[in-house]
Structure 1
Amino acid sequence: MFERWLKKKFKIEKSKWSFYKGVNPFQRWTEMAMIIAFLISIWFVDNLIPWLIGYFLISSSFRAFMEWKYKREEKEYILTLYSMFIYLLVLVIGFNLI
């Protein structure tokens, strides 16, 4: 509901794609490399929860920065930052309940 309010307030149009498409090839390759590095590093990490939270923070921050830098007029970075906050909140609360 808050996301719809953000879209209306900042006049952010609905994405044309059903899945996320990066702003340029550099972003796409960097995000793929981060995913591969994360999946490989899972085998070497004892405590996965902080690693998972760190990955989401770095990945979402990079995505928001690239959207801000190259597609500032579309204001999609606002939604990315909002979703990063929600994911972080859910992960922290969810893992603290376990």
Structure 2
Amino acid sequence: MSGTHFLIVILVAAFINTVFYVYARKKLGISKPPWWYKPVNSTQGLVEVVLLILLGFSLLRFPPEIMLIFYLFVINGFRTFMEWKYERENKQYVHYLFSTFLSLVIFIYICIFI
């Protein structure tokens, strides 16, 4: 997959994700999160740091575009679970769930066309 193709896929995904997020905020009454993501507890913060370190090591071995999308899939899936389990009333997990499925679709698309 060329760099231009990857960039177009990422930009389209970011646009779709933003449109869904604006729609979900209006429809479900999701509060606007702070600029920087704050983990719901210390365990989540620790797991996310470990995942980021693993991403750094895996970039040395595997194609970066595949690892980036896979990382987004894993981190969004983990955030979906943690938000759903500990802060269900905020409904922020709906956005992370959509991001997880979008990352999965992009991951499959990249694996097919690489």
TM-score range normalised by the length of the shorter chain: 0.7 to 0.9
Q: Which runs of 5+ in 2 are unaligned?
A: 1-18
Report the equivalent of 2:95: 79
The separation in 1 between residues aligned to 2:100 and 2:60, in whole angstroms, is: 25
TM-score when scaled to structure 2?
A: 0.68
The one-character-per-residue Cα deviations of 1:4-38 (angstroms, maximum 9, x if unpaired) are 221121111112x2111110010011001100111
The separation in 2 between residues aligned to 1:11 and 1:55, in whole angstroms, is: 28
Q: 2:58 aligns with which of 29, 41, 45?
A: 41
Report the equivalent of 1:19: 36
CA contact (8 A) 1:57 1:88 kept: yes
Measure how far apart 1:89 and its partner are. 4.9
Counterparts of residues 28-67 of structure 1 (less than 5 Å): 28-45=45-62, 47-67=63-83
In structure 2, do the counterparts of structure 1 residues 2 and 50 end up closer, same or farther at CA, with 3 Å as the change threshold?
Answer: closer
The separation in 2 between residues aligned to 1:6 and 1:22, in whole angstroms, is: 21
Aligned residues: 96
Whether 1:6 aligns to 2:24 is: yes
Q: Which runs of 5+ in 1 are unaligned?
A: none
CA contact (8 A) 1:49 1:95 kept: no
Report the equivalent of 2:14: none
